[in-house]
Structure 1
Amino acid sequence: MDRWSEFELFVQTAELGSLTKAAEVLSMSNAAASRSLASLEKRLNVRLVERNTRRLGLTQAGQDFYRRCKNILGEMKEAESAASATAMVASGTLRVTGSLSFCMKHIAPLLPEFTRAYPQINVQLDSANRYFDLIESGIDVAIRTKEYEADSAITVRKLAWTRRILAASPAYLARHGTPASLEELANHKLLTYSYANNPDELHFTRDSQSRVVKIKSLLEANDGQILRAAALEGLGILIQPNYIVYDDVVAGRLVPVLDEWDLPRLAINIAYQNRSHLPARTRVFIDFIVRHFQEMDFERKWTRQDHSSP
């Protein structure tokens, strides 16, 4: 029996005046209760209870110990109640991380609605184009384009798949022409993402065909918003996930190029620490983001090839 259980048995015994009644309240056998009380007295090296055939009473040391145990157990129950209440109420600081592009496009615009629904949550948004260690950094929720986590202590939940596309502004295409084949990409100015896997080559598929195209960039950047801005200014053809440029394509500000070819798709996931009792602030944020993605039908929009309408 652990020490807290021993203390509880002792307090029940003192208040009921009977070890047998205390054992019954705590669903213990008389023998187990007797062993527990004897173990407590042995560890403290003091007699707490006076036993005889007619009654059970506390020694002076037992009375002093009872008052302290009663106070300590009361404080423990209050602490447990407070912790349970905190777990049920969505409050406190919520740390969220994701790429700058994702945070700008798909988290920051939702924060007014989220904070109205959960005013006791303080959101701390850490945008970075690198992956934090969630546990070491104290991150509650991360948005990532990784299909799995090497750390088994991290749970990964898919939000949506997205295509990666080539697109350019109408002004750029008017000046330089629209490439009609993969080979013609060599004659165009390309805007590429520095952290992409193998940024110097593109792996295309179409039906049963597979092609690898070596490329040379006019501009490399470590964030998609930089490439988007450059493409909108007519600097070249960007290569970016649809979740960054979808609205620009639908509005005609960017035009897909060689869209019949597919680049490897990205899985957008939400990652968080495995916990038997997930904090309420984390749980409600995850549910909020998942519901938003479903309502917006992002996966269908971001994986289709027809961009003529939303």
Structure 2
Amino acid sequence: MAIVSTSTSAFFERSRTNLKDLRAQTETLQSQLSSGNKLSRSSDDPVAASRLRSLSRLESLSNIDKSNSQRANADLTLADATLSDMSDALIRAQELATQAASDSISSDQRASIGRELDSIYSTLMTLANARDSNGHALFGGESSGDAYALDGSGNPVYVGTTTSGTLPLGEGQTVARSLTGPEFLNFSVGGTPTDLLSVVKNLGAALQGAAADPAGAANDGLEALKAGLDSLTTGQTVVGTRLAWIELTADRRTNLSQLRSTEEADIGSTDIASTAASLQEALLVLEASQASFTKLANLSLFNNLS
């Protein structure tokens, strides 16, 4: 009698275990379908879970790099627009200097040109002290205040830092977010260092009587203005190159992000069609197992004895 009891107990225990496993399998498949994720916890697949965490960290770092890239792009775009405005103002200054160099105009007309050059100088000073996307000096390097100030004699002086701040773009790549004023406003004329702001300021004063030969000063100023425009053009080229570099790294970042998304989907996302088929199969097996268990459980050796 003990043998029959033990066998019956083992049969029921095995059946319960098998049915429990089948129910757990169907519940897991149902959970994967509803959540869209293969893994509900790391222990389901430690290697896959570790890789998913790594991909998530890489995506978080990529988002930081993207934010830096957007800031650098905004600042360099502002710098490019400001340099374009400076170039327009300088072209007008060249036109005025050409007029002032002519012997056919009067002293009063030169003085009037000088006053317009004063206005251009004020515009250039305002542009040189433009602000970046964070409200700091656009051309002042790391300075939070103005890039240029006036000394005791009223001459423009650079008061920013020696270099512009750099921002990381990812994968060890960085970009300077702007230019410092001296990088494009300082240049040499005939081997003599000067700066664009002083050139325009002094030319305006010369045409209003500060020079003994205003026409000669205007003629000499043309060379300096041309050198200044060349320096501005070089600055714009540098800024344009940096903007192109940011765009290139942004494209690469987007491609890498798409690759990570694809890998995450392959590793952690549920294959709806395959999982649905597996669930249907598991439910069928579970239903058949339950029916078989019920039928077998009702059988008895005594039913076969007459």
Q: TM-score, normalised by structure 1?
A: 0.24
Higher alpha-carbon Rg: 2
Q: Report the structure, 1 or 2, having the larger strand content.
A: 1
Task: Give the helix-richer structure, 1 or 2.
Answer: 2
Determine which structure has greater relative contact order: mean sequence separation of CA pairs < 8 Å that are 6+ residues apart, divided by chain length. Answer: 2
